[in-house]
């Protein structure tokens, strides 16, 4: 179905809907929520696999994951409120609002026994959803994120070097900006995969920058959760990072993995903040192996 904001029939697809279509055909629509809306797509069959994009993305960000996973899973992608193709949303809300949106979508689609895949900002939403509904989440993949966790408070060798990482990363981000390169893609993607880097920027530019910057402040201020709270969740977790990440400190994922029993950590070589986009083959394989290891 064509993405068309003017087509009211598309926006009303969810009305009266009872079950997820498990055919290989794509189903899409808009779900109205308080003060905004959520565009969603469903494709594939099998256990429910929900993808939550980061600040530079939208539902299109997962174009390399859906073809890989849709023959094994019912794949759900969506765009957070205010992110294209949704209508503009007013700022002034909290991470809890995003979690409410995800809860509304999952309930409307009648999904259960969820697998969640989160990239960067999406980690705030998925981790908090898992905390609210621990018995509904079978596994959690955190890409370049620890979500709401206050990782700076974790006693770990990587955290001791966090200030040094922040200084170095900030300098490199400034250098990249002067070259017109996004920190979320990094110089390697721009040099080695220019078409891919161009596509990332095109997706990123679909949502207005001022709105994204307001959301960046919201999520950063919400990084207050004690790591011990995550350790008690008893939900299988895979943390995937890129060794060249300039947005999220890879050491923070290592620190969290050290205090969460049974968690798995994978740091991907020659990859930046967007492993799922830049090294999709590796990201997909790691996630697939993780899902198999927990019995999906």
In order along its 296 residues, the chain shows pLDDT tens digits of: 333 333 333 333 333 333 444 446 899 999 999 889 999 999 999 999 999 999 999 999 999 999 999 999 999 999 999 999 999 888 768 999 999 999 999 999 999 999 999 999 999 999 999 999 999 999 999 999 999 999 999 999 999 999 999 999 999 999 999 999 999 999 999 999 999 999 999 999 999 999 999 999 999 999 999 999 999 999 999 999 999 999 999 999 999 999 999 999 999 999 999 999 999 999 999 999 999 999 97
Strands 114-119 and 237-242: unpaired
Q: Which residue has the tokens 């959760």?
A: 225
Q: Computed from CA positions of residues 4, 92, 200, 236, in that sequence, does the dihedral angle turn out positive or negative?
A: negative
Q: Which fold has domain 8-293?
A: Rossmann fold (3.40.50)
User: Cβ of 247: how many Cβ atoms within 10 Å?
Assistant: 20
Q: Which residue has the tokens 């959301």?
A: 215
């Amino acid at each position: 179905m064509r993405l068309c904001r003017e087509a009211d029939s598309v926006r009303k697809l969810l009305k009266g809907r009872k079950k997820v279509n498990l055919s290989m055909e794509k189903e899409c629509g808009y779900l109205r929520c308080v003060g905004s809306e959520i565009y969603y797509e469903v494709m594939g069959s099998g256990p429910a696999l929900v993808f939550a994009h980061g600040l530079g993305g939208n539902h299109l960000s997962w174009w390399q994951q859906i073809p890989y996973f849709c023959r094994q899973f019912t794949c759900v992608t969506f765009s957070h409120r205010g992110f294209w193709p949704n209508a503009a949303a007013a700022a002034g809300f909290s991470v809890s609002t995003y979690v409410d949106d995800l809860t509304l979508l999952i309930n409307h689609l009648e999904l259960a026994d969820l697998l969640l895949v989160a990239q960067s900002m999406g980690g705030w939403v998925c981790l908090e959803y898992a905390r609210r509904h621990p018995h509904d989440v079978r596994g959690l993949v955190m890409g370049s994120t620890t979500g709401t966790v206050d990782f700076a408070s974790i006693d770990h060798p990587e955290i001791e070097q966090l200030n040094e990482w922040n200084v170095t990363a900030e300098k490199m981000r400034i250098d990249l900006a002067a070259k017109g390169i996004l920190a979320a893609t990094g110089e390697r993607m721009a040099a080695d995969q220019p078409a891919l880097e161009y596509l990332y920027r095109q997706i990123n530019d679909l949502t207005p920058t001022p709105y994204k910057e307001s959301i960046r402040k919201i999520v950063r201020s919400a990084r207050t959760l004690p790591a011990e709270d995550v350790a008690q969740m008893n939900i299988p977790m895979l943390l995937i990072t890129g060794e060249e990440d300039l947005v999220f400190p890879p050491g923070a994922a290592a620190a969290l993995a050290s205090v969460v029993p049974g968690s798995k950590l994978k740091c991907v070589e020659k990859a930046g903040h967007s492993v799922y986009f830049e090294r999709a083959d590796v990201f997909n394989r790691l996630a697939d192996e993780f899902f198999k290891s927990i019995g999906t």
